[in-house]
Structure 1
Amino acid sequence: MGDMTTLTLVIPTYNLGHYFDETLQTIADQTVEFELWLVDDHSTDGTAEKASDFVSGRPTFHVERFKQHRGVSAARNFGLAHATGDVIAFADGDDQLDPDYVKTLVNGFKNGVVAVAVGYLWWHTTIDQRNVYLPMSQREMFKQVSHRGTDVGGYIWNKAYSLAAIREANLQFDESLSIAEDYLFTASYVAKTPGVYVYDPALRYTKVNRPGSTIHTRNLHDQRVEEQVFSYIRRLGESI
Structure 2
Amino acid sequence: MDLGLISIIVPVFNRSETIVKTVNSLLKQSYQNIEIILVDDASTDISFGINQLFVRSDPRVRALRNSQNMGVSATRNHGLKVAKGNWIVFVDADDWVEADYIENFVKMAQKSEAELLISGHLGDHSLARLELPFSKKMMTSREVIEDVIGELGPIGGYPWNKMFKRSIIQRYTIHFHEEISFLEDELFTIEYAQHINKAYYDSKAYYHYEIQEDSLSVNGLSKMLPAIKQRDAILLAEGIDPDDYRHDPISVSRKDWGSWKENLKTNGSESF
Q: Work out whether the TM-score is over 0.5.
A: yes
Task: Return the alpha-carbon distance in structure 1 between the equivalents of residues 180 and 12 of structure 2.
Answer: 17
The 8 Å contact of residues 26 and 97 in structure 2, kept in 1 or not, is answered as yes
Per-residue deviation, 1:217: 4.0
Q: Are 1:181 and 2:184 matched, yes or no?
A: yes
Classify 1:69/1:239 alpha carbon distance in 2 versus 1 (closer, same or farther; 3 Å). Answer: same
**3-state DSSP of counterpart to 1:23:** helix
- Deviations along 1:157-212, one digit per CA (max 9) or x if unpaired, are 10011100011111111111221110010011112x1311011111111111233x
Moved over 4 A (4+): none
Task: Return the alpha-carbon distance in structure 2 between the equivalents of residues 237 and 106 of structure 1.
Answer: 30
**3-state DSSP of counterpart to 1:68:** coil
- Deviations along 1:121-177, one digit per CA (max 9) or x if unpaired, are 1322353464x6421011111111223531011110100111000111111111112
Q: Which residue in the other structure is 1:210 paired with?
A: 212
Task: Return the alpha-carbon distance in structure 1 between the equivalents of residues 98 and 175 of structure 2.
Answer: 27
Partner amino acid, structure 2, of 1:224? S
Q: Which residue in the other structure is 1:14 paired with?
A: 13
- What runs of 5+ residues in structure 1 fail to find an aligned partner? none
Q: Which residue in the other structure is 2:227 paired with?
A: 229
Task: Return the alpha-carbon distance in structure 2 between the equivalents of residues 229 and 43 of structure 1.
Answer: 26
Q: Are 1:127 and 2:131 matched, yes or no?
A: yes
Classify 1:238/1:220 alpha carbon distance in 2 versus 1 (closer, same or farther; 3 Å). Answer: same
Q: Which residue in the other structure is 2:237 paired with?
A: 239
Task: Return the alpha-carbon distance in structure 1 between the equivalents of residues 206 and 47 of structure 2.
Answer: 24
The 8 Å contact of residues 40 and 63 in structure 2, kept in 1 or not, is answered as yes
Q: Which residue in the other structure is 1:171 paired with?
A: 174
Q: Are 1:154 and 2:152 matched, yes or no?
A: no
Task: Return the alpha-carbon distance in structure 2 between the equivalents of residues 105 and 227 of structure 1.
Answer: 33
The 8 Å contact of residues 129 and 203 in structure 1, kept in 2 or not, is answered as no
The 8 Å contact of residues 94 and 210 in structure 2, kept in 1 or not, is answered as yes
Q: Which residue in the other structure is 2:93 paired with?
A: 93
Classify 1:128/1:210 alpha carbon distance in 2 versus 1 (closer, same or farther; 3 Å). Answer: closer
**3-state DSSP of counterpart to 1:182:** helix
What is the TM-score with the length of structure 1 in the denominator? Answer: 0.90
Most deviating of 226-235 and 167-176: 226-235
- Deviations along 1:93-126, one digit per CA (max 9) or x if unpaired, are 0011111111112222245411101001132235
- What runs of 5+ residues in structure 2 fail to find an aligned partner? 239-272
Partner amino acid, structure 2, of 1:28? L
**3-state DSSP of counterpart to 1:108:** helix
Q: Which residue in the other structure is 1:196 paired with?
A: 198
Per-residue deviation, 1:7: 1.2
Larger relative contact order (Cα-Cα within 8 Å, sequence gap ≥ 6): 1
5 Å-filtered alignment, 1:37-186, equals 37-110=37-110, 111-122=112-123, 123=125, 124-125=127-128, 127-128=131-132, 130=134, 133-186=136-189
Task: Return the alpha-carbon distance in structure 2 between the equivalents of residues 112 and 195 of structure 1.
Answer: 10
Classify 1:70/1:231 alpha carbon distance in 2 versus 1 (closer, same or farther; 3 Å). Answer: closer
Task: Return the alpha-carbon distance in structure 2 between the equivalents of residues 75 and 227 of structure 1.
Answer: 22
**3-state DSSP of counterpart to 1:44:** coil
Q: In percent, how many aligned pairs have the same letter?
A: 26
What is the TM-score with the length of structure 2 in the denominator? Answer: 0.80
Task: Return the alpha-carbon distance in structure 1 between the equivalents of residues 114 and 224 of structure 2.
Answer: 30
| Number of equivalenced pairs | 233
Partner amino acid, structure 1, of 2:201? Y
